[in-house]
Amino acid sequence: MQRYPLPEASIHPDSAAHWRTQIFLNTIKMKRIISLKRLAASLAAVQPLLLLLAASLSCHAQPADDMVWPDSLNTAKDADYLTEDEKGVIYEMNKVRTNPKLYVEYIKRERSFYSSNRIERPGQVAVLTQEGVAAVDECIAALQKAQPTGIIRPNKNLGKAAQLLASYQSKTGKTGHTGSNGSTISDRITRYCTEMNDNFGYGYGITFGENISYGSSKSQGIVVQLLIDDGVPSRGHRANIMKPDFNAAGVAIDTHPRYRHLCVIDYAFLVYRP
């Protein structure tokens, strides 16, 4: 808004110049009042749009993590063959493995989006679940009673096994644990663990497992989904994440033609052979 300079010279109150000056000043005041009214009306008109924009930005923003976790849990931070979200999956699993009671807070945040058997996040398409909030409450209760266990370290060769299935399902749109040419979890993991025996001095333990999530590409969303394990009576995905026998994992996140994204996590118990 342009500011009009006010006269500085002293003018006699009875002079014609005084009245001209008063008229001039009153005109300035009226213009200011009109301008302020127009500004107020403009702000009132755009306020709903500003609130809508703020709500949109809020619902798409990643929730702030106000919890403090030891950096030692971030075992994949230097694994340059992984994406940031793939590294994050390892980190999230180590958080819940070492402090399941604290990780419950993330599950409670997820619970706040549930309405009966639907997950309703602002600005996103509602997701229909099989068990609804009951699965979330069961997960919370289980983690509150769970015992802490050791950390998982990333393993490049297990990552290759995971990527093999992820790439296959990304191209075909298939789901489940059966890969190309009917390959099983055992086939894929054994193939790359044999390579580890030859090249990296690792021994392959008989304990292995595989988790697959569909939908989310974000590390915390992936792990929370697997922990809640909606529709899986055995809660086998949660059991894999919390299994004390596992000390290594490979992670592969890829696109999926039906569910947008998938994440394959292959686990094993690896023993170093000098």
Tens digit of pLDDT for each residue in 205-261? Answer: 568 899 999 998 999 999 999 999 999 999 999 999 999 999 999 999 999 999 999
> In this predicted model, which residue has the larger pLDDT, 189 or 274?
189
pLDDT of residue 38: 55
Q: Which residue has the tokens 């393993």?
A: 155
φ, ψ for residue 269, nearest 5 deg: -105, 115
Is the pLDDT confidence value at 22 over 80? no
Look up residue 124 and give its two tokens: 């996103």
Nearest in space to 171 (alpha carbons), one of 256, 269, 77: 256
Residue 214's Cβ-count burial label (10 Å; 0-12, 13-18, 19+) is middle
Alpha-carbon distance of 88 to 72, in angstroms, equals 13
Global pTM value: 0.73
Look up residue 116 and give its two tokens: 């009966």
Is the pLDDT confidence value at 53 over 90? no
Instruction: Report residue 67's pLDDT band, with 50, 70 and 90 as the boundaries.
Output: confident
Could you report the per-residue pLDDT of 86-124, keeping only the tens digit for each?
999 999 999 999 999 999 999 999 999 999 899 998 887
